[in-house]
Structure 1
Amino acid sequence: MSKDAAGGESAGELLLRAAAMVPAERYVLTALAIVLAILYRFLELHLISDILHGFRGQCVKLTFRDSLTDRYHLIIAYKCPSLHGRYIATPWLASPHLQTLFVSIFGIPPSFTYKRELYTARDGGTIALDWLLASDSEDIDGCIYNDASTPLAVVLPGQNSDSASAYMKHLVYSMANKGWNVVVSNHRGLGGVPITSDCLYNGGWTEDIREVIKYLHLKYPNTPLFCVGTCQYSGEEGENTSVAGAVSICSPWDPVVCDRFICRNLVQRCYDRALTMSERLCKIVSIHSPSSRWCYIDVILIT
């Protein structure tokens, strides 16, 4: 390495001397800024973008079928004014990951007790229907028949969720408080109900919810039926359904694209490990592990 003509020091030594003259707090601040930048990117925060846009949020975008556009716009204008507004996340939760973490830790669900009805499907499978009524009556039949005009909402939980999940209890309790009768249709093998048939649940299979809706419509023919979380079923049934209205929240329209999205970076891959190690999923496995049918599930998952 070449020496400096004046002092005989190498270029490296000069750089070290210059670096030593920089105050330590500047290094700390630089390191902190780098860490914050990495964390901002890692958690997919959008607080800076919100600030630059003056916390105005984004306009809600609605998509309609062309032939129904005018009718839906008229209905939404009078019945759903919030859909004409803007969405802005809570500033200190300006990240989808922080929102998920917050709900998991602080989302304490309301305390109430469902009334359970076990429905046996045509193939022998058992589906747990958990009811929460707008009234305090414990008689489901009497309540619904006495007031057939009260709408009934059929709620379908997400993957690996059931009626006891915190977000489900928040949703059900809120709807019941607003005067709706609500029933949660748990997936096969969930909600503490054993698997009683060789047919298992998967996210792309809609036969169970189709059968439950037909059952409820026949039992309460004068009660308006609404559904939450039945996107694929609604698309398959179209105008043939007996449901008066349906809504899907955060629906994974394309599972393949969703899987690629989840695996696109490190923080998303953490969800795979968190889901497979979750207490709820481990409890489901432990409940069904004595059954020979659970071995069949393991084979499917491995292949």
Structure 2
Amino acid sequence: MEEDYRAPSYDYDEFFVKSMSFLSISHNYLLLLLLAFLVFLYNFLEVHFLADLLTAFRGNPVLLTYNSSSQLYQSVVSKCRILHGRFFPTPWLSSPHLQTAFLSLVAESPHVTYERHMFYASDGGTIALDWLMSSDVKGASCTNDATRENDKAPILIVIPGLTSDSGSAYVKHLVDKMAKHGWNVVVSNHRGLGGISITSDCFYSAGWTEDLRKVIDHIHCQYPEAPLYAVGTSIGANILVKYLGEDGVNCLLAGAAAVCSPWDLLIYQS
């Protein structure tokens, strides 16, 4: 006896509705996950585009902490017009991390040709000193034709930040600008940076000022008539400030500037 076979009947309309409902739920979850990720990324990169948008990109006034009775403030800071204006961030670079990446990866940096001198520390460590003399820069506001040993032009010693060296974009901008204003500039690369191998068991750190001290002494001996100045950035600023505090009145520098110094390293590590 043969049995009739009947194919199971399906309600295709119901199947379609359930499928679309499932896809809709999955789609909503994906949108929520994407939104959560974007919020995380916005905060992680410290983006301030929305805050700038709410203020119509009017910028914020520069805040200064200083001693108003200081002669240094009256003679230096009062002449820096940019410090008395407002900061207007580029809308599509409204994040410090994006600004750093743009400068390093996209923005053009000046072509700088250094003259490298090697400085050897007493423990066997090697430090590359990359020089750019004002006389070697085209378009410098003033040049000095005297022999380099008797050069009285001011010398700027640049101490780069963590993992930075004379080839970093922001360093080259600083070096080029100062050389064009008649300064002789030298970048004191940290041990192991600037293409130099580590030649001793001692490495640089934020608390190690002996390398900077020896480099300053060395440059002063080479150019006894030239006033010495220094600019440190990030970790380099920390090293510079620590050196200034340690040497006090015995410091050989006529002036110094610390840019973005991490004053409390424990906070920065957390």
TM-score class normalised by the smaller sequence: 0.7 to 0.9
Cα shift at 1:153: 0.4
- Is residue 105 of structure 1 aligned with residue 105 of structure 2? yes
Q: What amino acid sits opposite 1:133 in the alignment?
A: M
- 1:29-178 alignment, distance < 5 Å: 37-64=39-66, 69-76=69-76, 78-136=78-136, 142-145=146-149, 147-148=151-152, 150-178=153-181
Alignment partners' CA distance in 1, 2:37 and 2:125: 52
Partner secondary structure for residue 246 of structure 1: strand
- Is residue 183 of structure 1 aligned with residue 186 of structure 2? yes
CA offsets, 1:2-55, max 9 Å, x none?
xxxxxxxxxxxxxx99x97xx9xxx79x76876654543343211221232343
Q: What amino acid sits opposite 1:51 in the alignment?
A: L
Partner in structure 2 of residue 237 of structure 1? 247
228, 231, 251: which one aligns with 2:261? 251
Q: What amino acid sits opposite 1:121 in the alignment?
A: A
Partner secondary structure for residue 40 of structure 1: helix
CA offsets, 1:185-236, max 9 Å, x none?
1112222223333332222201001111112122212211110112322232
Alignment partners' CA distance in 2, 1:194 and 1:96: 31
Q: Structure 1: 5+ residue runs without aligned partners?
A: 1-15, 261-303
Cα shift at 1:174: 1.9
Partner in structure 2 of residue 283 of structure 1? none
The structure with more radius of gyration: 2
Alignment partners' CA distance in 1, 2:99 and 2:108: 14
Q: Per residue, is there more helix in 1 or in 2?
A: 1
- Residues 76 and 83, structure 1, Cα contact 8 Å, conserved in 2: no
Structure 1 length-normalised TM:
0.67
Q: 1:257 to 1:169 in 2, by over 3 A?
A: same
Structure 2 length-normalised TM:
0.75
Q: 1:55 to 1:241 in 2, by over 3 A?
A: same
Q: 1:238 to 1:80 in 2, by over 3 A?
A: farther
Alignment partners' CA distance in 2, 1:90 and 1:202: 34
C-alpha root-mean-square deviation of aligned residues, in Å?
3.2
Partner in structure 1 of residue 13 of structure 2? none
CA offsets, 1:120-174, max 9 Å, x none?
223332211100011128xx995545541x2110001112221122222222112
- Residues 132 and 182, structure 1, Cα contact 8 Å, conserved in 2: yes
Q: Structure 2: 5+ residue runs without aligned partners?
A: 1-16, 138-143, 233-239
Alignment partners' CA distance in 2, 1:54 and 1:42: 23
Partner secondary structure for residue 198 of structure 1: coil
Partner secondary structure for residue 259 of structure 2: coil
What stretches of structure 1 move > 4 A for 4+ residues in a row? Answer: 30-39, 140-143
- Residues 210 and 233, structure 1, Cα contact 8 Å, conserved in 2: yes
Q: What amino acid sits opposite 1:233 in the alignment?
A: Y
Cα shift at 1:110: 2.2
- Residues 128 and 191, structure 1, Cα contact 8 Å, conserved in 2: yes
- Is residue 216 of structure 1 aligned with residue 219 of structure 2? yes
Q: What amino acid sits opposite 2:119 in the alignment?
A: Y
Alignment partners' CA distance in 2, 1:91 and 1:108: 20
Residue-pair matches, total: 237
Alignment partners' CA distance in 1, 2:203 and 2:40: 42
CA offsets, 1:239-295, max 9 Å, x none?
3211111112211111110011xxxxxxxxxxxxxxxxxxxxxxxxxxxxxxxxxxx
- Residues 135 and 143, structure 1, Cα contact 8 Å, conserved in 2: no
Partner secondary structure for residue 248 of structure 1: strand
